[in-house]
Structure 1
């Protein structure tokens, strides 16, 4: 009986040892497999944008998607839907907020309806030069805006410099704020609309793709946009006059649904963040170059271009004060803080 008990104990001991060896072997195999792989979990991310594909922001976004896919060995695949194929600018933000799409690029102007402080880029003449915008987006202003967006359920991955907004119209050269009186101008957001009203014109809301036909049919007299978009959307065919007054420094935001972002592995987040930072710097460097190039091309195509002299800008800024006041009213304390930051940089 004692002999049987002894043999049973020996057998149990052998089974325990074998089991432990098997587990160690399995764990070692898993670790070896992990170390031998690229470490990225497979995921497909849908990214939508509404800009023309040859716009410098679009080119940057396409390169961002390509970089992420290549550097992850195809594991992190970004599936791009360009030029409004999946979503227009009016539907984009809601789709990102609800997770209808994981990523999207849309203007800060349209995001201001969700986070009013994001309208800082639309405050007339807040950013007098490209360098001011770059400095502002490298520090505290960026941090405060990102935090406000995350509280609404959106992770900001990149600020893409679109360039300055200008005015095109078919009626007369706009050489002073008084020249706007009586005109119907396509606006791009609430704060620009307040400025248009302060100048004596009527703002009209239209999608970017509707402007050409509206100008052609004369249902509007003019429109505000960047010269990059004016050239790509052929404004020169339907509008005679172009006024360069650099009233608003337009930003486009590469945004991610935060619930989706929070579920991503850290390594994937790091890859996306680094690729976005590189792309942002490339786009920023192109913004000024593209503004200058496209304004010259519009002039070459027959548009009559008036550049507001720097000495006249204080008059334009003073007339636009009601828009600044509306921004402060809507954005509250955060809006005041952001304006203070920008003014210190200026």
Structure 2
């Protein structure tokens, strides 16, 4: 099994009158080993071990080694896995407030998303998450989602109309593409390249890094920076695993989680323009449409009501208050 292991030291940390025990934490996530999410996880593991003199070790299981993303998160809730990096689309199955993050066209840009999530949103959802036996450590990154297709370049909302697009099952993403006039089809991601190659669907939507690293340009001619939905990886730890750590160890784990999240954000943002240039070199047509008409079309559709019904009106009203 491919994993990054940092061995625990024999020395224990002293915190007040109690002696902390050596701890090994298992961290599972869905990102490939070349993805910024895994690179950030490696930094997290290394720094936690160094700062605790090896008393806290982190074993990393990337690329869904311990099961699909929903299975990993369930194992973390139950305590079979200590830590996980789900997206808000996974967490909203346990706490609907997280589903508001994926409201179509909620954020102006990355800086806006980060300011909201790291500030009032965290203060709001962290206590709710503990009710699900999870402690929220920090927000990492994943990115804005964009549409690719093999039919035509997208420069206006009407160019999306009639396209058959693969989406994950998250209602917010389905509502966004259907609000733009496309039809949404759920296909498991490992089956997506074959589905695109055979013309089962016209296109799909994902962050730029996913489109680039999985070579979806081999099956798609056009990429439009629609940025219709944003989400990120969220670093969470099982509450019982958290309670096994001393206060000093908890401080280190939280601080290094935040540093890892910062690293992932920097890597994702730094790589996007380079990846776009390379996708163009590979033959993709990349368009950067004015997003105002896209937002207006989605707002005029049933999409926003569908998302509000899913998350709950009170949750949506609270989230909207953070956006300003």
TM-score range, shorter chain: 0.7 to 0.9
- Residue 65 of structure 2 is aligned to residue 79 of structure 1: no
| Residue 125 (structure 1) shift | 1.3
2:135 alignment counterpart: 155
| 2:182 corresponds to 1:201 | yes
1:14-53 aligned within 5 A: 40-53=20-33
Instruction: Calculate the TM-score normalised by the size of structure 2.
Output: 0.88
**Is the 8 Å Cα contact of residues 52 and 232 (structure 1) preserved in structure 2?**
no
Q: Deviation of residue 81 (structure 1)? A: 0.6
The alignment partner of 1:287 has SS state of helix
Q: Does 1:314 align with 2:295?
A: no
**1:274 Cα deviation from its structure 2 partner:** 1.1
CA deviations on 1:65-123 (whole Å, 9 max, x unpaired) are: 11112222222111111112222223222121122211111211222222222122321
CA distance in 2: counterparts of 1:118 and 1:43, whole angstroms: 30
Q: Does 1:255 align with 2:236?
A: yes
Match status 1:210 vs 2:188? no
How many pairs align? 305
- Cα gap change, 1:269 to 1:306, in 2 (>3 Å): same
1:40 CA drift (Å): 4.7
Q: With structure 1 as the length reference, what TM-score do the two structures score?
A: 0.83
**d(CA) in 1 for partners of 2:69, 2:284:** 27
User: Which residue number in structure 2 is paired with residue 23 of structure 1?
Assistant: none
Q: Equivalences for 1:290-301 in 2 at 5 Å? A: 290-301=271-282
Pair 221,85 (structure 1): closer, same or farther in 2 beyond 3 Å = same
Where in structure 2 are the equivalents of 1:79-158 lying within 5 Å? 79-158=59-138
Greater gyration radius: 1
Question: Where does residue 161 of structure 2 map in the other structure?
Answer: 181
Q: For 1:1-20, what aligned pairs fall within 5 Å after superposition?
A: none
Q: Which residue of 2 aligns with 1:57?
A: 37
Unaligned runs of 5+ in 2: 1-12
Give the distance between the partners of 2:249 and 2:284, measured in 1 at CA.
47
2:145 aligned to which of 156, 165, 187:
165
Listed as ranges, the gaps of 5+ residues in structure 1 are 1-32
SS in 2 for 1:305: strand
**Counterpart residue number, 1:327:** 307
- In structure 2, relative to structure 1, the CA distance for the partners of 1:265 and 1:206 (3 Å cut) is farther
Query: Distance between the aligned counterparts of 2:93 and 2:14, measured in 1?
Result: 45
